[in-house]
């Protein structure tokens, strides 16, 4: 894992002290709320429905055990004993006191963490593949580039006040586990003629105007990725609309200019950037890359897994993925217990996962955009012991990518922007489909719920998506079918008129019944939808 050098640490420490002074001035009345609000947002501190909310950055979703433990300690000491893992691989605390915020940031800084750029019109936390570095199908480990971009984008003076927020994802596998093409910029690292570089996608996103990012450059060599992105951002910063926040994201610019014209302008800027010597020296990428060198995996270990316990075998089949080292495995920890809150983890559960990482996963944890956790380096021989400990803590649900593995934003239970509650609906759906055999029968079925048009719950990218709306003060839910955030990215289509909370659960059941009746051998829900179209589903739902 990357470790801060003296520059990183001094920047973060200085920011903590700066914010401590700003909070003190706010509490004394020297700063008004209008003056203070942009300052607190730059440090990830929102005023939400019930209290202040602090969003902590987890760069490319990677945590050490020490960092994870600290997140649990903060939840217990300053919050109400839990945290919420988000679709940007970050963590949010919901009950923060303003006066405590500087101390919390100081505690985060003590483990090389912060909340900088988790809000505001800047480049946000870089996201990546939760299997980075351990997936057998990756071309290279994407984390060194994600870290390089973290450093490039942190406090970037030119991109601190962009027209709107800006999200970047980096992957290096054909299987997209990071919803890469639904980002403002998505990088897919590839190998061409023995050289590593990136396919660059720009202008994707969800929100009120969802778009799948088009490819704007087929290959940028690894040593020019930074200056190419600099060119992409410059064109956006110059021409992105600042007159209308709903049209200010890069996706609108790319759409309005047209892909070819945006590409042309970027290439022109890139040609200029190349003359400026802005790419980091090769030695710096090598320095960063060294932090992500593969760990010393033990050899001569057994690759066998004792599957005599049926509950354990079920969990292995669902939650464990292949690792590039044959004696090791990737463990997915579900944060979707059937009666729980998607993405929430108690301080005790966070501490447990930290301990498991210490003991069994070479000190590493990953957060996924689907609001689950991953232990990336587990010996197959240790799987049973881990499963037992997870089971005791209520973390052994075997539902990865099934209908109950629901992405849900905090919704109207916590969020000041929301129009409807996402979490109670997720719980009702999970309970309706609680039967494990039924879930397995339905197979991969990604269900995603957003409580408003801002789409933090990625409803556009759900095989089944749900959007909560406000209809004259009453919660109402629109149903979408056919979205995907994976390599076959697509946007869901609305079925028709919306439903009450119970009505949408019934509608989902009808949709799954149609799928089961119509599917052919080996078809996932999404495949069947794409083959037969919306009509049969619509007829079943609306009669």
Partner 1 sequence: MKILTGNDLVSGDVIWWAGDGWSRQVGDSVDVGQSGDDLARTEEAALRVVGAYVIDATVTEDGVRPAHIKDRIRALGPTVRPDLTLKPNDADTGNWVI
Can you give the binding site for partner 1, defined by CB under 8 A? 26-27, 29, 33, 47, 49-52, 80, 95-99, 341, 412-414, 416, 418, 421, 423-424, 427, 473-475
CB of 372 to partner 1, least distance (A): 19
| Class of residue 39 by CB neighbours under 10 A (exposed 0-12, middle 13-18, buried 19+) | middle
CB contact at 8 A, 478 and 466:
yes
Of 52 and 60, nearer to partner 1 (C-beta) is 52
CB of 214 to partner 1, least distance (A): 37
Tell me the CA distances in angstroms from 325 to 140, 313, 365, 431, one per residue in order. 15, 21, 17, 37
CB of 419 to partner 1, least distance (A): 8
- Give the number of residues written for the chain: 543
Tell me the CA distances in angstroms from 50 to 53, 295, 414, one per residue in order. 9, 44, 7
Of 176 and 413, nearer to partner 1 (C-beta) is 413
CB of 324 to partner 1, least distance (A): 39
**Facing residues of 189 across strands?**
198
Of 64 and 476, nearer to partner 1 (C-beta) is 476
CB of 50 to partner 1, least distance (A): 6
CB contact at 8 A, 164 and 443:
no
Alpha carbons 257 and 260: distance in angstroms, whole number: 8
Of 20 and 80, nearer to partner 1 (C-beta) is 80
- Token look-up 């669902």 returns 318
CB contact at 8 A, 450 and 426:
no
Helix segments in 46-159, DSSP class H: 65-78, 101-109, 143-153
Nearest to 115 by CA among 173, 40, 57: 57
Across 286-339, where does the E strand assignment appear?
320-322, 328-333
CB of 143 to partner 1, least distance (A): 34
Of 329 and 418, nearer to partner 1 (C-beta) is 418
Of 382 and 413, nearer to partner 1 (C-beta) is 413
CB of 470 to partner 1, least distance (A): 8
Of 33 and 243, nearer to partner 1 (C-beta) is 33
CB of 432 to partner 1, least distance (A): 17
The 3-state secondary structure of 106-129 reads HHHHCCCCCCCCCCCCCECCCEEC
Of 180 and 423, nearer to partner 1 (C-beta) is 423
Of 228 and 414, nearer to partner 1 (C-beta) is 414
Parallel, antiparallel or unpaired: strands 464-471 and 447-450: parallel
Tell me the CA distances in angstroms from 542 to 35, 125, 506, one per residue in order. 51, 41, 11
CB of 40 to partner 1, least distance (A): 11
Neighbours of 501 (CB within 10 A): 17
Alpha carbons 513 and 344: distance in angstroms, whole number: 30
Of 351 and 413, nearer to partner 1 (C-beta) is 413
CB of 429 to partner 1, least distance (A): 14
């Amino acid at each position: 894992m990357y470790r801060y050098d003296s520059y990183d640490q001094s920047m973060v420490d200085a920011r903590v002290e700066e914010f401590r002074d700003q909070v003190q001035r706010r509490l004394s009345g020297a700063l008004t709320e209008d003056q203070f609000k942009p300052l607190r947002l730059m440090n990830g501190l929102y005023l939400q429905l019930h209290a202040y909310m602090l969003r902590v950055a987890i760069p490319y979703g990677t945590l050490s055990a020490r960092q994870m433990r600290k997140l649990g300690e903060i939840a217990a000491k300053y919050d109400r004993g839990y945290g919420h893992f988000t679709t940007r691989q970050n963590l949010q605390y919901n009950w923060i006191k303003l006066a405590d915020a500087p101390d919390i940031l100081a505690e985060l800084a003590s483990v090389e963490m912060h909340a900088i750029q988790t809000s505001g019109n800047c480049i946000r936390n870089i996201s990546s593949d939760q299997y980075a570095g351990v997936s057998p199908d990756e071309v290279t480990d994407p984390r060194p580039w994600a870290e390089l971009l973290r450093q490039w984008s942190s406090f970037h003076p030119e991109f601190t006040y962009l027209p709107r927020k800006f999200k970047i994802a980096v992957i290096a596998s054909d299987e997209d586990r990071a919803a890469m093409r639904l980002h403002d910029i998505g990088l897919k690292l590839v190998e061409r003629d023995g050289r590593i570089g990136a396919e660059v996608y720009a202008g994707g996103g969800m929100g009120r105007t969802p778009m799948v990012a088009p490819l704007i450059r087929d290959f940028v060599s690894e040593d020019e990725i930074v200056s190419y992105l600099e060119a992409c951002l410059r064109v956006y910063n110059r021409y992105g609309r600042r007159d209308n926040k709903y049209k200010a994201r890069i996706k609108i610019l790319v759409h309005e200019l047209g892909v070819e014209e945006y590409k042309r302008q970027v290439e022109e800027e890139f040609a200029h950037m190349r003359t400026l010597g802005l790419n980091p020296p090769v030695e710096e990428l090598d320095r960063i890359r060294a932090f992500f060198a593969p760990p010393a995996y033990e050899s001569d270990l057994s690759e066998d897994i004792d599957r005599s316990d049926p509950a354990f075998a079920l969990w292995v089949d669902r939650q464990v993925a292949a690792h590039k080292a044959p004696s090791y495995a990737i463990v997915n920890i579900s944060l979707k217990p059937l009666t729980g809150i998607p993405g929430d983890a108690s301080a005790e559960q966070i501490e447990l996962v930290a301990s498991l990482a210490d003991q069994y996963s070479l000190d590493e944890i990953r957060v996924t955009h689907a609001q689950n956790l991953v232990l990336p380096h587990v010996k197959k021989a240790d799987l049973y012991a881990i499963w037992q400990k997870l089971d005791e803590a209520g973390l052994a649900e075997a539902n990865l990518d099934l209908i109950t593995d629901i992405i849900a934003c905090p919704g109207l239970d916590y969020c000041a922007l929301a129009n409807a509650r996402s979490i109670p609906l997720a719980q009702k759906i999970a309970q309706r489909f609680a039967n494990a055999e039924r879930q397995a029968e339905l197979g991969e079925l990604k269900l995603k719920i957003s409580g408003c048009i801002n789409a933090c719950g990625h409803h556009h990218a759900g095989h089944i998506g749900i959007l909560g709306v406000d209809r004259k003060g009453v919660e109402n839910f629109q149903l979408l079918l056919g979205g995907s955030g994976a390599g076959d990215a697509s946007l869901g289509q609305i079925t028709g008129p919306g439903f009450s909370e119970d009505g949408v659960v019934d509608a989902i059941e009808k949709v799954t019944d149609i799928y089961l009746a119509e599917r052919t051998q080996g078809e996932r829900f999404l495949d069947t939808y794409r083959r037969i179209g919306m009509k049969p589903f619509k007829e079943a739902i609306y009669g």
